[in-house]
């Protein structure tokens, strides 16, 4: 009886500890909300005029983009290409959300905007080209931008859940170019 009481107390303390840590983690808001920091290697400088072309690549995808800065706005177009292992291993793109983050000179995020959402339960065979064309207003402090994405793919049937369900497999992938600012 005494050991059961100790186990109950220990499990409640563990749950309380986890809950407190979760609350502390959530207080800062989203990982790329204003005030977050982007590593220098993930920053794309905003150069006057244009058009300027580039490519941003991760293990999951590449974004071939072109932008033109015309104060006070930035026109950006591009095409997303998924890494070959994604459509080879899965049949459906549940979603892919592409964001752009506008940065100060020191890499601090000033603002975050959604560029576009792709997929929504589309078979890869029917997906077509994932292209975007967007215009965003810039503040005078904006000197660079960065991309981030979050996607989910599935294979098999079953109900649409975030976990394995029956014969369906869900897999999420993301890249958020961030880390804590240097001290």
The string of pLDDT tens digits covering residues 50-90 is: 899 999 999 999 999 999 998 789 999 999 999 999 999 99
Q: Which domain holds residue 146?
A: 34-175
Choose among 99, 118, 119, 120: nearest CA to 109: 99
Which residue in this structure is represented by tokens 């959300």? 97
pLDDT of amino acid 148: 94
Whether residue 137 lies inside any domain: the answer is yes
Which residue in this structure is represented by tokens 């983009």? 65
Distance from chain centroid for Cα 124? 20
Specify whether 139 is located in the same domain as 166.
Answer: yes
Whether residue 183 lies inside any domain: the answer is no
pLDDT of amino acid 7: 72
| Per-residue pLDDT band at 152 (split at 50, 70, 90) | very high
Specify whether 76 is located in the same domain as 127.
Answer: yes
pLDDT of amino acid 129: 95
Whether residue 38 lies inside any domain: the answer is yes
Specify whether 71 is located in the same domain as 119.
Answer: yes
Specify whether 9 is located in the same domain as 90.
Answer: no
Whether residue 73 lies inside any domain: the answer is yes
Span between the terminal Cα atoms of the chain, in Å: 50
Whether residue 181 lies inside any domain: the answer is no
pLDDT of amino acid 92: 94
Whether residue 139 lies inside any domain: the answer is yes
pLDDT of amino acid 110: 93
Measured distance CA(154)–CA(173) in Å, rounded: 11
Specify whether 6 is located in the same domain as 92.
Answer: no
Specify whether 59 is located in the same domain as 131.
Answer: yes
Specify whether 125 is located in the same domain as 49.
Answer: yes
Specify whether 116 is located in the same domain as 44.
Answer: yes
pLDDT of amino acid 25: 41
pLDDT of amino acid 23: 38
Average pLDDT, the chain: 83
Q: Which residues pair with 147 in a beta bridge?
A: 100
Tell which wins on pLDDT, 163 or 27. Answer: 163
The count of structural domains within the chain is: 2
Residue 173 corresponds to which tokens in the numbers above? 């992938």
Question: Please, what sign has the CA dihedral across residues 181, 61, 153, 79?
Answer: positive
Specify whether 76 is located in the same domain as 14.
Answer: no
Tell which wins on pLDDT, 18 or 68. Answer: 68
The kind and range of the H/E element at 97 are: strand 92-103
Specify whether 132 is located in the same domain as 49.
Answer: yes
Whether residue 24 lies inside any domain: the answer is yes
Measured distance CA(159)–CA(68) in Å, rounded: 43
Of the chain, the percentage scoring pLDDT greater than 70 comes to 77
């Amino acid at each position: 009886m005494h050991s059961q009481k100790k186990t109950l107390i220990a499990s409640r303390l563990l749950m309380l500890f986890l809950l407190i840590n979760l609350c502390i983690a959530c207080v800062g808001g989203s990982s790329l909300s204003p005030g977050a920091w982007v590593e220098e290697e993930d920053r794309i400088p905003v150069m006057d005029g244009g058009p300027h072309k580039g490519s941003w690549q991760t293990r999951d995808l590449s974004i071939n983009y072109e932008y033109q800065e015309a104060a006070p706005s930035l026109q950006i177009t591009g095409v997303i290409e998924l890494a070959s292992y994604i459509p080879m291993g899965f049949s459906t793109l549940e979603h892919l959300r592409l964001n752009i983050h506008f940065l100060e000179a020191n890499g601090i995020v000033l603002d975050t905007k959604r560029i576009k959402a792709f997929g929504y339960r589309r078979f890869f065979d029917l997906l077509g080209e994932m292209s975007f064309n967007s215009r965003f207003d810039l503040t005078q402090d904006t000197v660079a931008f960065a991309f981030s994405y979050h996607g989910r793919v599935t294979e098999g049937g079953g109900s649409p859940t975030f976990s394995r369900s029956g014969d369906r497999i869900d897999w999420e992938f993301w890249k958020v170019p961030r880390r804590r600012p240097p001290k």
